[in-house]
Amino acid sequence: MSVLRVSGLNKTFAAGGMFKAIGKAKRAVIDTSFDLVAGETLAIVGESGSGKSTTARLAMQLLAPDSGNIFWDGEDVTHLTGKALRSRRSHIQMVFQDPFASLNPRMKIWESVAEGLRVHRPDMTKTQRRQKVAETLALCGLDDSGMDRYPHQFSGGQRQRIGIARALIVEPKVLVLDEPVSALDVSVQAQVLNLLKDIQAAKNLAYLFISHDLSVVRHIADRVSVMFAGRVVEQGNVEDIFEHCAHPYTRALLDARPITHPDERNRVDEVLVIGEGMSDSGCAYQPRCAFKQESCASFDGELDAQGCACLFPLNSQK
C-alpha cells in the first residue's frame, strides 16, 4: 500500500505584496499526482521554479492545495487541521538542504534532535529522550559525545547527519529530502548518500527525493518524476528515464549533465533546445522545443499511458 499518495494537486500563488494589483499569479503546481510505497525512492527533478519544492511542501501539508488530495497511509489528510493534523505529522518528515541554516545555533545538538519528541512523545522523560537521541544519532553514524555541543562545532556533513537524525527521531514512514546533498563536498556527499541508503534498507522508509543533480538521482532513486513549469512532464523507472526517455525536456536535462572525462569534450549532442522561457498556453515547453508542431499549442499536458506528456515523444517504444 502506498505510504504517500497525491492526486490532482494544484497550487497557485498570488502575486504578492504591494504589487498585487499589477502582478501575475503563478501556477506553481498543476495537476500533479504520484504515489510512493514503503522502501522506495521517488526523485523529483527539474530546474529552479519548476514546482518541485512546492510539490513536496504540499505533500507534507505545509501548504494547502487549491485542489487535489493528499493521502498518508491511505488516509485522506487534505482537510486535516490543528491537533488532528499535528498528531499525524510524525508520518512524514523533512531533511533540508542547508545544514548550516537548518539547525538553531543556540540549541545543543540533543535539544534540536529531541524537539520532535516533545510534540509527538510527551510521555517520555528527559532521560528517555536523551536515550532515544543517542540511538538515533548512532543510526546516523554519530557517537553520543557530541550531544551537548552546538552546531558550529560540527562540519557540514556531520550537521546533515544531525538533520537526518532530527527527522528520523519521530519514526516517520516517509522522508522528504530537499536537495539533501547539494551543499556538501563530493566526498561527504558520498558518505551521506550511503547513509541514506542504509537507513532506508534498515527502516523500510520511503523517500521523496528532490534534486537537480541527475547523477545523484541516478544513484539513489527507483523512480523519477521530471517537472517543468509546475507539471510532471515525464515519469518512470530510473533506468527507463536515463536510458530511453521520451520527453524532449528530459533529454535536454540529461544532455546538460556535466561530462565525466575530458575525452567527451567533443561529443556532439543533437541540438534539442532552441530557445528560453515557457509558454502559458498549450505545452509549456514549446518555446524551447526543437520538435514542436502546430498541435502543441493546444496540448493539455496530460501524461500518456507511458508516463510522458508529449504529443511527439522521442522514443515511442519506451
Partner 1 sequence: MAGDHLSAYHYFPLKWLESGVLMRHTAAMLELSNLSLSVSIQGERVDAVSAVSLRLAPGRVLGLVGESGCGKSLTAQAMLRLGEHQGVEKSSGDIRLDGKSLFDMSEEQLRTVRGGHIAMIFQEPMTALNPVFSIGSQICEVIRLHLDMNKQQAHQRAIDLLQDVGMQDVEQILKQYPDSLSGGMRQRVLIAMAMAADPDYIIADEPTTALDVSVQKRIIALLLNLQKKRNLGLLLVTHDFGLVAEMCDDVAVMYAGQIVESGSVAEIFDHPAHPYTRALMACRPEVSSPGKALPVISGQVPPPGRWPSGCHFAKRCPLAADDCNNPVAADAWSRENHVTRCLHVGEPS
Q: Compute the radius of gyration of the chain from its Cα atoms.
A: 21
- For residue 259, the minimal CB distance to partner 1 (Å) is 5
Q: How many residues bind partner 1 (CB under 8 A)?
A: 34
Cβ nearer to partner 1, comparing 39 with 171:
39
- For residue 82, the minimal CB distance to partner 1 (Å) is 38
Residue 86 is a binding residue for partner 1 (CB under 8 A):
no
Residues 6+ positions from 28 with CB-CB distance below 8 Å:
11, 12, 13, 51, 54, 230
- In this structure, the strands spanning 174-178 and 92-95 are parallel
Stretch that binds partner 1, among 20-28, 144-152, 248-256, 303-311 (CB under 8 A): 248-256
Within positions 153 to 172, which residues make up the interface with partner 1, using CB under 8 A? 155-156
Residues 6+ positions from 166 with CB-CB distance below 8 Å:
112, 113, 115, 116
Stretch that binds partner 1, among 9-17, 55-63, 208-216, 297-305 (CB under 8 A): 208-216
List beta partners, residue 4.
36, 72
- For residue 305, the minimal CB distance to partner 1 (Å) is 26
Measure CA 136 to chain center. Answer: 23
Residue 237 is a binding residue for partner 1 (CB under 8 A):
no
One residue of 218, 311, 312, 314 binding partner 1 per CB under 8 A: 218
- For residue 61, the minimal CB distance to partner 1 (Å) is 28
Residue 197 is a binding residue for partner 1 (CB under 8 A):
yes
Neighbours of 11 (CB within 10 A): 22
Stretch that binds partner 1, among 83-91, 102-110, 185-193, 303-311 (CB under 8 A): 185-193
- For residue 256, the minimal CB distance to partner 1 (Å) is 4
List beta partners, residue 223.
42, 237
Within positions 96 to 155, which residues make up the interface with partner 1, using CB under 8 A? 155
Neighbours of 307 (CB within 10 A): 21
One residue of 190, 278, 311, 314 binding partner 1 per CB under 8 A: 190
Site map 253..282 versus partner 1, x via CB under 8 A: x--xxxxxxx-xx-------x---------
The site for partner 1 (CB under 8 A) is made up of 47-48, 155-156, 185-191, 193-194, 197, 212-216, 218-219, 238, 252-253, 256-262, 264-265, 273
